[in-house]
A and B are shown apart, each in its own frame.
Chain A
């Protein structure tokens, strides 16, 4: 890896941040330019992250692969901040880029006009998410979290309106308080180990004297709470369904990746810091993760059944998906890791597609148009009149609306409920299969997980069918349903991605097994980070 290819690791962070700064210089009236530039940026991000995945997967199959380490400012590893692209990070960056591209594509139909500076905030969010996936330093992780949160604060109020402002007030307060917990956790871990580099931490955690171990575990637990809040784990997630329901659809669609950031960090840190071979700290808090995951799944399942709105179903489904992942992480088996990663990708794509399809479906059924709720501007410098100015939708209005919406809706339902033949089924089947094959005797905990997975799928099916009958079968008051191609295309893209996940399940699953193997092999990660050569030095 020489020349400019070496700098590819930092591109998913730098590129959106740079474009975001450039876009700030342009007035809100230069809408076409902003759209083209930001959509182009996300498209380039998809390409870059695909290249990253291809690069780190160079070893193929069961080999742990070689993580690409990027030393910021060319400082040697434990002292400077490092960016690490291993199989897991690269995969997550690809997932966030794909979601970013489709959500932005969808937003261009009309949602980006609902408020000022949409594209800037959107790109900033992507920069923060990618940074959180790529960083190898706990404090840098905090900074990336703040970047993505700051952008999400701006996006959640996009379109203004009373309900959004109210929901955002809770969301922001809650997340600022969580960030403080994050800092306390980081400070405690630093006080005990004297390092913030994840790889260095993984080495030192085995050498922590027994007297300090409790302090370290308390720090890790406080840090963990911060991540569990991000992941939307019950009972820390009461804000989630309401906030996501209040957010504009394309924003809710990209927020689907934000809960996965929390899951990713828990997976990364629990395998690196508390995996096998870390001495007395090994297996820390695994039971807590399992039971918190179960509670979240149960709560999410009940929420799916109880809610009348589709956005509520989607919000609670996000919780179910987080709970499933968390419980599976807590079980800690390597074969399960591959399955849960497959589930992560599939469920994120599916729920994102659902958020996008909800709005046209409800508009089609003559429900109140969400965009109508936009209130008067609160501050003087906001550019208003964008919605009224352009009455005609962009793109061609396509016929057969009901068929397309209905088809997409059924597709989403099958994916979310985990029915064959789509990728949702493969993911759930893989998890259950891993549970059955991992141990000779299946533990009661595994049975609970299996039961909850099946029950939550059933609840999703019931809720989606109910909503589908309500919205798609019932005669509509409005005789002229309108749906533009720009709105359908991104939904189609996401569903195609799920379809590809199903057809290419073999190679994809092989990659996931590579990720799981790399996660289980801590020493490869540690050696790669701590032994990373500085630029201008010969490779040892």
Chain B
């Protein structure tokens, strides 16, 4: 599972970085989205990968070895919400820039070719 997980993070990061360096604003936004997915998976992996282990501990005496670390999952939730909100905000600025400059180039003007 570790290999698949690492490959997924790697693929997302590579695609995200490639898109981030593209000249169109929408590509940049999509790149940031992919990068944030990669980072979210990475945070999850920071709590050690386990299957069939719940993060919520029940009442009474419990064996911590039966459970997965809940903290990274809480962190991921926060990170998802924040990156969602900032991406939405970036989209708004993108639209404004498109309206004001008349182009969707990240510099607000086309390259002279």
Contacts and interface: CB of A to CB of B under 8 A. Distances in A.
Interface residues of B, number: 36
A143 B78 contact: yes
B90 A173 contact: yes
A146 B93 contact: no
Contacts, number: 99
Contacts of A169: 25, 90, 93-94, 97, 106, 108
Is chain B's interface secondary structure helix, strand, loop, or mixed overall?
helix
A479 B42 CA distance: 63
Contact of A153 (B42, B89, B95): B89
B97 A188 contact: no
A183 interface: yes
B43 interface: yes
Interface residues of A, number: 33
B32 A187 contact: no
A404 B96 CA distance: 39
Interface string B15-55: 00000100001001000100110010011011110000000
B71 A166 contact: no
A172 interface: yes
A184 B42 contact: yes
B32 A177 contact: yes
A174 to B, nearest CB: 10
A314 B36 CA distance: 34
B72 A187 contact: yes
Which of B25, B72, B82 counts the most A-chain CB atoms under 10 A from its CB?
B82
Interface SS, A side:
helix
A193 B105 CA distance: 43
A172 B72 contact: no
Given A143-B78, A166-B107, A378 B90 contact: no
B93 A165 contact: yes
A293 B94 CA distance: 34
A146 B86 contact: yes
Contacts of A150: 85-86, 89
A184 B9 CA distance: 12
A227 interface: no
Given A146-B86, A169-B93, A180-B36, A162 B71 contact: no
A55 B82 CA distance: 35
Contact of B99 (A170, A196, A378): A378
Nearest to A188: B46
A139 B83 contact: no
A187 B96 contact: no
Contact of A187 (B75, B86, B87, B101): B75
Given A168-B93, A176-B32, A375-B100, A186 B86 contact: no
B32 A162 contact: no
Contact of B93 (A143, A149, A153, A184): A153
B79 A183 contact: yes
Given A143-B78, A166-B108, A169-B94, A176 B101 contact: no
A190 B72 contact: yes
A523 B39 CA distance: 34
A48 to B, nearest CB: 27
B40 to A, nearest CB: 8
Nearest to B36: A180
Of the candidates A162, A169, A379, the one having the most CB atoms from chain B within 10 angstroms of its own CB is A169
Interface string A123-146: 000000000000000010001001
Contacts of B83: 176, 179-180
A157 interface: yes
A214 interface: no
Interface in B2-21: 20
Given A150-B89, A165-B93, A378-B100, A173 B78 contact: no
Interface in B56-72: 71-72
Nearest to B85: A150
Contacts of A184: 39, 42
A166 B72 contact: no
Contacts of B89: 150, 153-154, 172
A164 to B, nearest CB: 9
A166 B97 CA distance: 6
Given A176-B32, A179-B86, A191 B46 contact: yes
B10 to A, nearest CB: 13
B76 to A, nearest CB: 9
26 contacts: A143-B78, A146-B86, A153-B93, A160-B100, A162-B100, A165-B96, A165-B97, A165-B108, A166-B108, A169-B93, A169-B108, A172-B86, A173-B90, A176-B86, A179-B82, A179-B83, A179-B86, A180-B35, A183-B39, A187-B46, A187-B72, A187-B75, A188-B46, A191-B46, A191-B47, A375-B100
List the 3 closest A-B pairs by CB distance, nearest first. Answer: A191-B46, A187-B46, A166-B108
Interface of B: 20, 25, 28, 32, 35-36, 39, 42-43, 45-48, 71-72, 75, 78-79, 82-83, 85-87, 89-90, 93-97, 99-101, 106-108
Given A153-B86, A153-B93, A169-B90, 17 more contacts: A139-B75, A160-B100, A161-B100, A165-B93, A165-B97, A165-B101, A169-B97, A173-B32, A176-B32, A176-B87, A176-B90, A177-B20, A177-B35, A183-B39, A187-B39, A378-B99, A379-B96
